[in-house]
Chain A
């Protein structure tokens, strides 16, 4: 089992999955510089406020950021230890969701 698979499998058991009307969907893209977080409701509207929690591959909290008003947040890669992947959680107070950035995601999108 790859580290990415192990990370996904373990986190699937830990992290609660939000569901229901106006479900929050969190997505994070990554390049060599930063992780860009996007939080959007299922009706297409971006979340205008919320807390972004950044956890490492062992599910330990690294740092938190406020969500920008446009539903995004840019997290510089050099500000966090991303060697084991990252878990990006967004909590708007009434909804939450997460996205897992695997080491393979970083390597693939960074061209290495």
Chain B
């Protein structure tokens, strides 16, 4: 009986531990804006466990920008406070004056995660194409860490593969771990095992990873690496997890 007494509290502890990954999120109302859709895109920014729809506080980011045709525009002052998944988030309506690919990027403030004894900084981006012109779909922003798409990061059917290169300071990260998670917004997906809330793939020696989702919707890819610097927490230097996050929408297959 002694063993059973020990096992029961441990099971409770394990069940209470967070199984899902943290994700910075930039989700547009549509990743492919056609002229019939209007002349702007609506963005929702948050920080969450997206499979479990569990929101976390997203403080006003350090940076928020859009890059289009090689020019980057600061949009930090245009963010509107919003409640997303019951927590602080932001929204933005951005006019799309010209065709092409618009890359929205966010650098959040360092998030202190006591359970991991580390800070988390997720450099997050999402690609939106306007008016049928996909030029710029493979844009590299030069972020501290970033997933550079090898597959067009929109206009993918469900079950297509998505490929990207994980980069840190502009260089590929060999065998980088990439966590993959579904934004379970209205989809009602359930996981038969905690391991299937956040899946993990590894990049190859050139930093290239591949993933094919089982269903349409928004999928987040987060390549996680430890920074070469620390940040202080209560006077103690703590590790910093740097995430390169990209959100990709896969479209529902329309054939039989």
Contact = CB atoms under 8 A, between A and B. Distances in A.
A12 B132 CA distance: 15
A100 interface: yes
Given A8-B35, A12-B36, A105-B39, A27 B134 contact: no
A23 interface: yes
Interface residues of B, number: 11
A44 interface: yes
A59 interface: no
Interface in B88-130: 97-99
Contacts of B131: 25, 27, 99
B133 interface: yes
Interface string B124-159: 000000011111000000000000000000000000
Nearest to A97: B132
A27 B99 contact: yes
Contacts of B135: 44
**Nearest 9 pairs of A and B residues by beta carbon:** A25-B132, A27-B99, A25-B133, A8-B36, A44-B135, A27-B131, A12-B36, A100-B35, A25-B99
Interface of B: 35-36, 39, 97-99, 131-135
Given A25-B133, A40-B133, A44-B135, 5 more contacts: A12-B36, A27-B133, A42-B132, A99-B35, A105-B39
